[in-house]
Amino acid sequence: MKIQMRQAVKLKMKVYIAGSEYSLAPGDITERFEAAEAMRLIDRGYAVPVADDPPIETAIMPPPAETRKRKGKRD
């Protein structure tokens, strides 16, 4: 008896795709497809793989502009 492990791959769709039990639009993220089917979708350009942990983006504020008056300067 041979046991096969089903491993779903996380994909982000680039095109519309539909089946009898699903409908996916561009930008949708899914884990519906097994590895072999996911590779076919990626190879044909229908989807891109998605990393499990997306990088965390942080915003860095620039230092505030100096507003004090300089010595010896007249207005």
Q: What is the pLDDT of residues 45-71, one digit of tens each?
A: 999 998 876 667 788 888 888 787 777
Nearest residue to 47 (alpha-carbon basis) of 28, 23, 22:
28
**pLDDT, tens digit (0-9, with 9 covering 90-100), for 2-22:** 545 567 789 999 999 998 999
pLDDT digits (tens, 9 = 90+) for 37-47: 999 999 999 99
- Cα–Cα distance between 27 and 15 in angstroms, integer? 8
CA distance 46 to 14: 5
Domain map (residue ranges) of the chain: 11-49
**pTM, 2 dp:** 0.59
What was the pLDDT predicted at 60?
Answer: 85
